[in-house]
Amino acid sequence: MSNFGSGCRKGYNHRVHSALSGKSPAQAFTQDTNALHFPSPEALRDAFLWEKTPKVDKAGCISLNGLCYEVGVEYVRKQVLVRYDPFDLSQVEIWYGGEKRKVVVPANFGEYNRNVKKPVVELEKASQSRLLRMFASESQKRLKQQLGAFRLGGEVDDHV
């Protein structure tokens, strides 16, 4: 590899080429006044995305590398172009008709089992109910009225 690199630096880049109007590649590079353009990270990512064209099932989903993505019912039984990074399947691009339509994430389907009891949310215990307090007060009044005529010294307790 070092022989190849040194051969390019010494020989190839400094020899005159007919395609460069009698200049060497090194001379053509140094005399070029146009600025170098470097692609953005987004453009590089976009250029190296993998592509696949699955058919959307009747539920509006596609499967990609064992993950299910909900694409939408508008694409049921149609072929869509899926562009994705194989090292990051947290989101994939959905293309249809040559246009990017949406970005989807893996579907999160919960399980349903009617036999599993959901945990009961416990309420805070009240110190005293207003309704029970009212019933106790009414009961005490009735008891006083009923026993009022037969009252013997201290038989009726006020804290019933």
**Average pLDDT of adjacent 10-residue blocks, the chain of 160 residues:** 60 82 86 88 93 95 94 95 95 96 91 71 71 86 74 54
Write down the pTM of the prediction: 0.53
- The pLDDT value recorded for residue 6 is 61
- pLDDT score for 62: 96
SS3 content of the chain, % helix, strand, coil (to 5): 30, 20, 45
Name 17's bridge partners.
Answer: 23
pLDDT at residue 150, rounded to an integer? 56
Q: Which residues, 6+ apart, have CB-to-CB distance to 102 below 8 Å?
A: 71, 72, 93, 94
> Tens of pLDDT along 78-125?
999 999 999 999 999 999 999 999 999 999 877 776 776 767 777 666
Note whether 133 and 121 are within 8 A (CB). no
Q: Report the DSSP pairing between strands 88-96 and 81-85.
A: antiparallel
Which are the contacts of 61, defined by CB distance < 8 A and separation ≥ 6?
68, 69, 70, 71, 107
Please report the pLDDT score of residue 44 as a whole number. 92
The pLDDT value given to residue 143: 82
How far apart are alpha carbons 6 and 75 in whole angstroms? Answer: 55
